[in-house]
Amino acid sequence: MGIAVTVGSPSSRPAEPPDAHVELALEGMTCAACAARIEKTLNRVPGVAAGVNFATESASVEALIAAVTRTGYGARVRRDEAVERGLESAQRDAAWRSLRRDLVVAIVLTAPLLAQMALMFVPGGRHEDLLPRVLQLALATPVQFVIGRRFYTGAWRALRGGGANMDVLIVLGTSIAWLWSTVVTVLGMHDEHVYFEASAAIVTLVLLGKALEARARAGTSAAIEGLLKLAPRIAHVEREGHEVDVPLEQVVVGDRFVVRAGEAMPVDGVVREGHASADESMLTGEARPVPKAAGDKVYAGTTNLDGRLRCEATGVGSATLLAGIVRLVGEAQGSKAPIQRLADRVSGIFVPVVVAIAVVTFVVTWSVAGDATPAIVNAVAVLVIACPCALGLATPTAIIVGTGRGAQLGVLIRNAVALENAGRLTTLVVDKTGTVTEGTPEVTSVHVLSDASSDDVLATAAALEQGALHPLAQAIVARARERGLALPIVRDFGAIPGQGTLGTLGSDQAQVGSLAFLVARGVEVDQARVDALVARGESIVGVARGGQMMGVVALADRVRDTSRAAVAELIREGIDVLMLSGDNHATVDAIACDVGIAHARGAMTPDAKVEAIRRRQDAGEVVGMVGDGINDAPALAAADVSFAIGAGSAIAIEAADVTVVRNDLRAVADAIRLSRATRRKIRQNLFFAFAYNVLGIPRAALGFLSPVIAGAAMAMSSVSVVGNALLLRKAR
> How many Å apart are CA 497 and CA 474, to the nearest integer?
15
Of 116-130, 242-256, 344-358, which one has max mean pLDDT?
242-256
Higher pLDDT, 618 or 7: 618
Query: Would you tell me how many other CB atoms lie within 10 Å of the CB of residue 87?
Result: 16
Residue 212: which residues within 8 A CB-CB, separation 6 or more?
339, 396, 399, 400
What is the CATH topology of the domain spanning 2-78? Alpha-Beta Plaits (3.30.70)
Q: Which residues are catalytic?
A: 431
Q: What is the DSSP string of 550-611?
A: EEEEEEEEEEPTTHHHHHHHHHHTT-EEEEE-SS-HHHHHHHHHHHT-SEEE-S--HHHHHH
> How many Å apart are CA 166 and CA 346, to the nearest integer?
8
CB 630 within 8 A of CB 649: yes
pLDDT band at 312 (very low <50, low <70, confident <90, very high): very high
Residue 495: which residues within 8 A CB-CB, separation 6 or more?
306, 468, 501, 502
Q: Which residues pair with 257 in a beta bridge?
A: 237, 311
pLDDT of the residue at 60: 33
| 685 φψ region: left (φ > 0), alpha (ψ -120 to 50), beta (else) | alpha
CB 288 within 8 A of CB 278: no
Four-way CATH pick for 227-320: 2.60.40.10, 1.10.760.10, 2.70.150.10, 3.30.70.141: 2.70.150.10
The DSSP call for residue 252 is -
Asked if residue 125 has pLDDT above 60, the reply is no
Task: Report how far apart the first and last C-alpha atoms of the chain are (Å, whole number).
Answer: 38
Residue 548's alpha-carbon distances to 67, 356, 542, 543, 689, in angstroms, are 76, 92, 11, 9, 79
Residue 540: which residues within 8 A CB-CB, separation 6 or more?
515, 530, 533, 534, 552, 553, 554, 555
> How many Å apart are CA 309 and CA 302, to the nearest integer?
13
Q: What pLDDT digit, counting tens, does each position of 546-578 carry?
A: 889 999 998 887 888 888 999 999 999 899 999
pLDDT band at 225 (very low <50, low <70, confident <90, very high): low
Q: What interhelical angle do 341-369 and 666-701 show, nearest 10? A: 10
> How many Å apart are CA 116 and CA 135, to the nearest integer?
12
CB 445 within 8 A of CB 701: no
3-state secondary structure (DSSP) of residue 485: coil
Cα Rg of the chain, angstroms = 32
Burial 153-166 (b: 16+ CB within 10 A, else e): ebbebbbebebbbb
Asked if residue 421 has pLDDT above 50, the reply is yes
Q: What is the DSSP string of 639-657?
A: SSEEEEETTS-HHHHHH-S
| Segment among 20-29, 287-296, 438-447, 502-511 with least mean pLDDT | 20-29
Residue 147: which residues within 8 A CB-CB, separation 6 or more?
102, 105, 106, 109, 203, 204, 207
> What type of residue is 628?
D
Instruction: Provide the greatest CA pair distance for the chain.
Output: 117
What is the CATH topology of the domain spanning 410-437+560-677? Rossmann fold (3.40.50)
Asked if residue 108 has pLDDT above 80, the reply is yes
The DSSP call for residue 629 is S
Asked if residue 126 has pLDDT above 60, the reply is no
**Closest residue by Cα to residue 418 from 436, 395, 434, 435:** 395
CB-neighbour burial class of residue 228 (10 A; exposed 0-12, middle 13-18, buried 19+): middle
Mean pLDDT for the stretch of residues 127-131? 62
| Segment among 19-33, 194-208, 505-519, 670-684 with least mean pLDDT | 19-33
Element (H, E) at 401: helix 389-408
pLDDT of the residue at 240: 85
**Closest residue by Cα to residue 383 from 719, 722, 127, 696:** 696
Element (H, E) at 483: none
CB 360 within 8 A of CB 179: no
Asked if residue 636 has pLDDT above 70, the reply is yes
pLDDT of the residue at 721: 74
Residue 104's alpha-carbon distances to 97, 107, 109, 213, 283, in angstroms, are 11, 5, 9, 16, 44
In terms of DSSP bridges, do strands 427-430 and 576-580 run parallel, antiparallel, or are they unpaired? parallel
> What type of residue is 464?
L
pLDDT band at 57 (very low <50, low <70, confident <90, very high): very low
Quote the Cα angle for 237-242-248, to 5°: 20
**Closest residue by Cα to residue 166 from 426, 343, 415, 381:** 343
Q: Is the dihedral of CA 250, 253, 256, 262 positive or negative?
A: positive
> How many Å apart are CA 106 and CA 436, to the nearest integer?
48
What is the CATH topology of the domain spanning 440-558? Calcium-transporting ATPase, cytoplasmic domain N (3.40.1110)
| Segment among 13-17, 414-418, 489-493 with least mean pLDDT | 13-17
Quote the Cα angle for 112-115-118, to 5°: 165
Mean pLDDT for the stretch of residues 241-257? 91
pLDDT of the residue at 586: 77
Query: Would you tell me how many other CB atoms lie within 10 Å of the CB of residue 69?
Result: 12
pLDDT of the residue at 506: 86
CB 110 within 8 A of CB 200: yes
pLDDT band at 382 (very low <50, low <70, confident <90, very high): confident
pLDDT band at 129 (very low <50, low <70, confident <90, very high): low
> How many Å apart are CA 56 and CA 68, to the nearest integer?
16
Mean pLDDT for the stretch of residues 373-386? 74
> How many Å apart are CA 371 and CA 502, to the nearest integer?
103
> How many Å apart are CA 722 and CA 300, to the nearest integer?
50
| 606 φψ region: left (φ > 0), alpha (ψ -120 to 50), beta (else) | alpha
| Segment among 210-214, 215-219, 284-288 with least mean pLDDT | 215-219
Query: Would you tell me how many other CB atoms lie within 10 Å of the CB of residue 10?
Result: 8
Q: What pLDDT digit, counting tens, does each position of 133-143 carry?
A: 899 999 999 99
| Segment among 216-225, 377-386, 485-494 with least mean pLDDT | 216-225
> How many Å apart are CA 227 and CA 398, to the nearest integer?
33
Domain boundaries, the chain: 2-78, 89-214+337-398+695-730, 227-320, 410-437+560-677, 440-558
Element (H, E) at 337: none
